A and B are shown apart, each in its own frame.
Chain A
Amino acid sequence: SQQGEEDPQALSIQEGENATMNCSYKTSINNLQWYRQNSGRGLVHLILIRSNEREKHSGRLRVTLDTSKKSSSLLITASRAADTASYFCATDARGAQKLVFGQGTRLTINP
């Protein structure tokens, strides 16, 4: 069963603009992760935020987590053409060894 729901399903912006993607989930989590998938390839881990954290940064990535609303957002600043990809959130319930992935947001950066 898919726990994560992502919004929007697709996003198209101009190079240099910021891109924001949202993820909602249903149950208590241990942590939340974001992954990127380039077309036809496997997923690559981007960033992890723990349930007791509210915000985390990594380079041009900023992730926020609101456990009261069961939601997270991924912000990519100063987007580049190379950021064109699908982005997935993934959660693991407490004590679980598996992740549950959202359906992803397809991001297109126009030059």
Chain B
Amino acid sequence: DVKVTQSSRYLVKRTGEKVFLECVQDMDHENMFWYRQDPGLGLRLIYFSYDVKMKEKGDIPEGYSVSREKKERFSLILESASTNQTSMYLCASSPKLGGANIQYFGAGTRLSVL
């Protein structure tokens, strides 16, 4: 089974802190994604990566950056956390385009910025 692991289930940070959310997948998938999920807004794509050191902006990249130094790991960085970044963050991975494009999700990180 595919396993996508997010480093923390719950995280509490202060405004202005630099925050790292880590995601690791064990199925050698090329594609990795970061979403945030807010009530009434569904899942919104922040960034995605289709290869090591490659990244593409999603729908809401402002205030975020990402890093993909190794194929299995995709990090989401909040350079200076703000209260409006309090949310549930979901990481996902999928095999290279050409397959069924099914995404496999981690359990999520609930981030609170105080």
Contacts from A to B (Cβ < 8 Å): 1-2, 30-31, 33, 35, 40-45, 48, 88, 90, 92, 95, 97-104
- In the complex, are the beta carbons of B105 and A43 less than 8 A apart? yes
Interface size on B, residues (CB 8 A): 29
- Asked if A99 and B103 sit within 8 Å, CB to CB, the answer is yes
Query: Can you report 7 residue pairs joining A to B where beta carbons are below 8 Å apart?
Result: A42-B108, A44-B105, A48-B100, A97-B31, A97-B97, A99-B101, A101-B43
A33 touching B102 in the complex, CB below 8 Å, given contacts A42-B107, A98-B58: yes
Instruction: Tell me whether B42 and A1 are in contact (CB under 8 A).
Output: no
**A40 with B43: CB separation less than 8 A:** no
A88 — which chain B residues lie within 8 A by C-beta?
42-43
Enumerate chain B residues within 8 angstroms of A97, measured Cβ to Cβ: 31, 48, 50, 94, 97, 101
Given contacts A40-B88, A40-B108, 14 further A-B contacts (CB under 8 A): A31-B100, A31-B101, A35-B105, A40-B110, A42-B105, A43-B43, A97-B31, A97-B101, A98-B33, A99-B101, A99-B103, A101-B35, A103-B41, A104-B42
Bound Cα distance A40, B103 (Å): 18
